[in-house]
Amino acid sequence: MGMPITVEILDDAGLGFDKLLKEVFDYFRYVDGKFSTYKDTSEITGINNGLILEPGYSDDMKEVFLLSEETKKLTDGYFDIVKPDGKYDPSGLVKGWSIYNAAKILQDRGVQSFFIEAGGDIQPHGMNQQGKRWKVGIRNPFNKEQIVKVVYLEEEGIATSGTYIRGQHIYNPHQLGAQITDVMSISVIGPNVYEADRFATAAFAMGLHGIHFLEGLKGFEGYMIDKNGLATMTSNFLKYTHE
């Protein structure tokens, strides 16, 4: 996946923690092997090199392309997996999608309480060890060691998009070549991590308008930090800041 992944399982549903962890990490390795644009052997690389044509796409690839097209329409084109060079990079959707699918694996096995995090995108489920909602910190993009806001989640997912770790890796499809400099990070809380992740990517690509887009998105809340270090949040974001 090209990033650290953390999985915490509090109850093993009688199946054994090692078995559950192996199943989850095997799934992430499968996703990485299929969707990594950095691997010559991945399916997405084969598609980008013209070696695999659409009739030969795997079911998971077809699903990701379908969801990506749906997200593009819902975001007025601000989410687009077609890069300026014409090649596909679905990572802006695949990360949240794969975390969500990994969470479903554990839920299907009967696990009641767990937490999955990959690259800052998080899907909790149930309660933490103290029997409370999971506590999640939002980093200061100007000082990665500092937490500027804490939220408490049970079933909701949270995802953050920004340039403070990976640099200018997100682009505005409507202004190719222009760097996004007005916004440093935007965190989105949604019904699950897949939904939060895809709209966090799009909202960041919108620049300062992204937080207004999230304000109008039912079931979502956002927290944006601009280049001056000023935070702007959607109207109901604060409901997640109480235990």
Q: Give yes or no for residue 160 having a pLDDT over 90.
A: yes
Handedness of CA 148, 156, 60, 13 (dihedral sign): positive
Q: Give yes or no for residue 161 having a pLDDT over 80.
A: yes
Domains, the chain, ordered by start: 5-241 (3.10.520.10)
β-pair partners for 192: none
Mean pLDDT on 37-45: 97
d(CA 116, CA 34): 20
Mean pLDDT on 21-26: 97
Evaluate if pTM is beyond 0.95: no
How high is the mean pLDDT of the chain?
A: 93
d(CA 83, CA 89): 7
Name the residue with higher pLDDT: 146 or 180. 146
Distances (CA, A) of 109 to 10, 12, 141, 158, 192: 13, 9, 37, 23, 18
pLDDT in tens, 184-214: 999 999 999 999 999 999 999 999 999 999 9
